[in-house]
């Protein structure tokens, strides 16, 4: 059938449901595998711990804006067909190294460095165990060490266009943007992505204002 040919390997449609006791849950439906995985809804906890939108706004240049939409699990093809495990925040001023990227919450730096899909990236784990992923950075704010404590609102890097290559430092394969992802671990320790869109909506009016 047509969907077997074009289905994304990890195409999840995230739904929120309530059981008879009113407990919120997330249902992730795999179209290809025909399975439904149920998770406790984490958004209540996440929305309490996040404080800042992941990209700052310009103090003096109102043309340097950003835009985003719900691109979670839209098809991507680099490295094979797959679902987009996050939301892209696009730059109106399409130049790398301009827009400051900030941490949405307090946490511990867990991962840093190059990934073929994500380019230069940072991964920060909050105290509640949520993993926040910032990808396609042009560069980092400073030389970080794994295990370093990061504060909410701290500038951690700058928006760029790195990635989609095995060669470190590759740029130019797409427009300047930030890929923002949120991951959790299930009861068996297996990582899964959730849709960051409603988190970004909550933080829309909580941007740091900086000079750039």
Tokens of 154: 């701290």
CB atoms within 10 A of CB 91: 21
Q: Rounded to whole angstroms, how far apart are CA atoms 13 and 124?
A: 25
CB atoms within 10 A of CB 89: 24
CB atoms within 10 A of CB 181: 21
Under the banding of pLDDT at 50, 70 and 90, the label for residue 83 is confident
Residue 111, beta-bridge partner list: 123
Q: State residue 28's pLDDT score.
A: 58
- The answer to whether position 104 is within a domain reads yes
Q: State residue 33's pLDDT score.
A: 55
Span 120-146, pLDDT tens digits = 999 999 999 999 999 999 999 999 999
CATH number of the structural domain spanning residue 58 = 2.70.70.10
- The answer to whether position 30 is within a domain reads no
Domain residues for the domain of 90 are 42-210
- The answer to whether position 5 is within a domain reads no
- The answer to whether position 28 is within a domain reads no
pTM surpassing 0.75? yes
Span 133-180, pLDDT tens digits = 999 999 999 999 999 999 999 999 999 999 999 999 999 999 999 999
- 29: pLDDT strictly greater than 70: no
- The answer to whether position 195 is within a domain reads yes
8 A C-beta contact, residue 92 and residue 65: yes
Q: State residue 3's pLDDT score.
A: 39
CB atoms within 10 A of CB 60: 9
Q: Sign of the C-alpha dihedral, residues 95, 98, 103, 104?
A: negative
Number of domains the chain contains: 1
- The answer to whether position 26 is within a domain reads no
Mean pLDDT over each residue of the chain, to the nearest integer = 87
Task: Please identify which residue in the block is written with the tokens 């890929």.
Answer: 179
Q: State residue 8's pLDDT score.
A: 39
- The answer to whether position 165 is within a domain reads yes
Tokens of 187: 């009861």
């Amino acid at each position: 059938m047509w969907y077997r040919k074009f289905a994304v390997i990890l195409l999840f449609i995230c739904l929120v449901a309530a059981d008879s006791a009113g407990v919120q849950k997330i249902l992730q439906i795999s179209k290809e595998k025909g399975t439904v995985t149920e998770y406790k809804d984490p958004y209540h906890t996440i929305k309490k711990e996040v404080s800042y939108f992941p990209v700052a706004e310009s103090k003096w240049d109102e043309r340097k804006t950003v835009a985003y939409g719900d691109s979670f699990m839209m098809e991507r093809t680099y490295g094979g067909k797959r679902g987009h495990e996050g939301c892209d925040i696009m730059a109106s001023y399409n130049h790398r190294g301009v827009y400051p990227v900030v941490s949405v919450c307090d946490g511990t730096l867990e991962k840093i460095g190059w990934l073929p899909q994500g380019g230069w990236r940072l991964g920060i784990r909050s105290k509640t165990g949520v993993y926040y992923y910032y990808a396609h950075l042009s560069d980092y704010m400073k030389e970080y060490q794994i295990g370093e404590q990061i504060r909410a609102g701290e500038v951690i890097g700058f928006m760029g266009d790195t990635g989609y290559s095995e060669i470190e430092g590759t740029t130019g394969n797409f427009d300047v943007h930030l890929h923002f992802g949120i991951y959790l671990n299930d009861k068996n320790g297996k990582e899964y992505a959730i849709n960051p869109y409603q988190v970004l909506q909550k933080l829309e009016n909580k941007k740091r204002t900086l000079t750039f």
